[in-house]
Amino acid sequence: MKESEGKHNRERNLLALTGAAALLALAANLAFSAFNSHRKKTKKKDLPGSNVRVNLSPSEILRLADRIIANSKAVHEKVASVPLDKVSYVNVVSPLAELEAEQFPLIQSCVFPKFVSTSDEVRKASAEAERRLDAHALICSVREDVYLVIKAVAARGEWTSAEAKCYIQSLVREFERNGLNLTVTKREEVQRLRAQMDELSLQYIKNLNEKSTFLLFSEAELAGLPAEFFKGLDKAENGKFKVNLRSNFVAAVLELCKVGRTRRMVAVAYGKRCGDVNLPVLENLVQLRHKYARLLGYSNYADYAVDLRMAKTTSKVFEFLEDISINLTDLATKELNMLKDLKKKEEGEVPFGIEDLLYYAKRVEVQKFDIDFGALKQYFPVNLVLSGVFKTFQDLFGLRFEEILDAEVWHGDVRVFSVFDLSSRELFGYFYQDIYAREGKYGQTCVVALQNGALLSNGARQVPVALLISQFEKDISGHPGLLRFSEVVNLFHEFGHVVQHICNRASFARFSGLRIDPDFVEIPAQVLENLCYESFVLKLISGFHQAFLIKLYILLTILMLLSYSNIFIQR
């Protein structure tokens, strides 16, 4: 290991690991954080190898977007100016690949604040920056001069590697899916439709992100929900609880609330979010997509979308779905009737709706396996689950996660980790962990790629950077945040995406991380989420929260005393 790298690593706090060791390391982590909060604040450090920028002001976001666009224009102009008889991989393909790799983290620096910032002004600037960047990307995607030089390179067939061949073919295909192989009249119509579709898509998402809706319920109307659920709710003047229509609250109500009317109100309200403004947007978007696909020679937009996937045609998709339906209809009908019978026993002659599915599926599990989900939740405090998740993925993939305590973040809840290969000590990448719910934050659980890995023209490897967003409730007044087991499964799923993104070693940013083949992108996460059902993993991620708190308090006290004793001795 280089001395500079070793010094950098020693300044980090190693995250923690298994059984009692996991608890000890977690306590050390918390103690060290508490200790650092009393020290004089130092300048926040950048992440070596990361071009992601955080905490940009609204004006800085817009200026950065404009610089990105100006630089992109310059590169495209230079590529387009290459004479067709002089084209090569070096003067056409390499500059475009380098541009994608270098500018993606800057683009994301402009765009991701709209998901996480607490400032309305920052979120608005971020949305405006995204609009400008998308408009520029649309212009670049229909430049005939660039298309022709890339086609000329493709025609020569001089590939530096199989991956480079795939990249060039991808560039050509993207241009042609934007109408560059059509007549001028049709091409102009395709471009017009594409611009309208992009604008409508942004508007649809913006409406959802800006909508902050809640429903009011009395405690009796929320019967069945655990006490800690109510601790995360605000109260209205009439004493009723405000249930925000964010995914974590909605899932809890639909899984646990005994009152059918409440479940139905929440399900209907969640399904109708922004319906008044988004329904016309969606109807218009569907019509535009159909026209767009027809112009490109497809029967409908579904055929256009499926063309790049393994199925290739919608007829294959329907054949697959029909085959599944034939084999599963009898079993599904039997299970649905079981749920309906259970609802009839508990609620009487009330129609079974989609809002009842999660609740009565849980009720069947409770009866069949004698599971108390309220009691089960007591064994999954969020900090212990996270410690176990880190340990599991470290051992499975030969990685080492280290928390960076002095990294710049956009909120006090955000944590940053570096990821190393355990054997070679090579830095694989970084990820931000923003897992607690707050006002103005994106309401779904997801992983966002902030920087894609790539092999740059100078031979250096650009490291990936990811962002994990979730909506867990924070610890409140000394009580640990507890997770439903479905949330634990979801956390494993999303963490699978993080590892998938960071461990990807593609040479081109276009194929890196989460930008892989759409047929495959969910497979690693779907496989890895099943880890949480294994007994050795359950031992790492579970423990009764009160006992956990007592042990944690003792260890924290000891470590804090040791820390202050060490300072006293040094002085």
- Is the same domain home to 394 and 517? yes
Nearest to 499 by CA among 406, 401, 380: 401
Residue 27 domain flag: yes
Q: Which region among 5-9, 186-190, 267-271, 276-280 has the lowest average model confidence (pLDDT)?
A: 5-9
- Is the same domain home to 149 and 222? no
User: Looking at beta carbons, which pairs linking 490-494 to residues 24 or more positions away fall under 8 Å?
Assistant: 490/445, 490/529, 491/385, 491/386, 491/389, 492/389, 492/528, 492/529, 492/530, 492/531, 492/532, 493/525, 493/526, 493/528, 493/529, 494/445, 494/446, 494/447, 494/468, 494/470, 494/525
Look at residue 483 and tell me whether its pLDDT is greater than 70. yes
Name the pLDDT band for 8 (thresholds 50, 70, 90): very low
Q: So what's the pLDDT on residue 570?
A: 47
- Taking only the tens place, the pLDDT of each residue in 37-57 is 443 344 566 899 999 999 999
User: Crossing angle of helices 260-271/247-256, nearest 10°?
Assistant: 150
State the Rg of the chain over Cα. Answer: 26
Look at residue 489 and tell me whether its pLDDT is greater than 70. yes
Residue 294 domain flag: no
The DSSP call for residue 45 is: B
Residue 451 domain flag: yes
Stretch 4-16: mean pLDDT: 37
The DSSP call for residue 399 is: E
Residue 495 domain flag: yes
Name the pLDDT band for 528 (thresholds 50, 70, 90): very high
- Which whole-number Å values give the CA distances from 401 to 296, 390, 397, 429, 542, in the listed order? 47, 7, 11, 10, 20
**Residue 295 · residue 304 · CB < 8 Å:** no
d(CA 20, CA 384): 11
For the chain, what percent of residues have pLDDT higher than 90? 61
**Residue 404 · residue 45 · CB < 8 Å:** yes
Higher pLDDT, 313 or 550: 313
d(CA 490, CA 529): 7
pTM: 0.78
Q: Which residues are catalytic?
A: 494
Average per-residue pLDDT for the chain = 86
Q: Where are the alpha helices (DSSP H) in 311-379?
A: 314-347, 357-369, 373-377
Q: So what's the pLDDT on residue 74?
A: 97
- Is the same domain home to 477 and 501? yes
Residue at which a domain ends, from 134, 160, 182: 182
Stretch 312-330: mean pLDDT: 92
DSSP for 404-469, please give it. Answer: -TTB--SSTT-EEEEEEETTT--EEEEEEEEEE--TTS--S-EEEEEE--EE-TTSPEEPPEEEEE
Q: So what's the pLDDT on residue 546?
A: 59
- Is the same domain home to 533 and 401? yes
Buried b (16+ CB within 10 A) or exposed e, 210-219: eeeebbebee
- Taking only the tens place, the pLDDT of each residue in 15-28 is 333 344 444 444 44
Q: So what's the pLDDT on residue 40?
A: 39
Residue 463 domain flag: yes
- Is the same domain home to 414 and 501? yes
Look at residue 79 and tell me whether its pLDDT is greater than 90. yes
- Is the same domain home to 528 and 445? yes
Beta-ladder partners of 241: 217, 235
Name the pLDDT band for 366 (thresholds 50, 70, 90): confident
Length of the chain: 571
For the chain, what percent of residues have pLDDT higher than 70? 87
Residue at which a domain ends, from 355, 371, 387: 371
Q: So what's the pLDDT on residue 16?
A: 35
Q: So what's the pLDDT on residue 209?
A: 76
Q: What is the CATH number of the domain that holds 557?
A: 3.40.390.10
Domain of residue 474, residue span: 3-42+379-570
CB-side exposure of 491: number of CA atoms within 13 Å? 31
Number of domains in the chain: 4
- Taking only the tens place, the pLDDT of each residue in 261-313 is 999 999 999 988 888 899 999 999 999 999 999 999 999 999 999 998 999 99
- Is the same domain home to 85 and 138? yes
Look at residue 33 and tell me whether its pLDDT is greater than 90. no
Stretch 151-178: mean pLDDT: 91
Stretch 420-443: mean pLDDT: 92
Look at residue 484 and tell me whether its pLDDT is greater than 90. no
Stretch 334-346: mean pLDDT: 92
d(CA 113, CA 119): 9
- Is the same domain home to 557 and 416? yes
Contacts of 479 (CB under 8 A, 6+ apart): 228, 231
- Is the same domain home to 235 and 267? yes
- Is the same domain home to 474 and 449? yes
Q: So what's the pLDDT on residue 471?
A: 87
Name the pLDDT band for 560 (thresholds 50, 70, 90): low
Residue at which a domain ends, from 220, 251, 273: 273
Q: So what's the pLDDT on residue 7?
A: 38
Q: So what's the pLDDT on residue 569?
A: 45
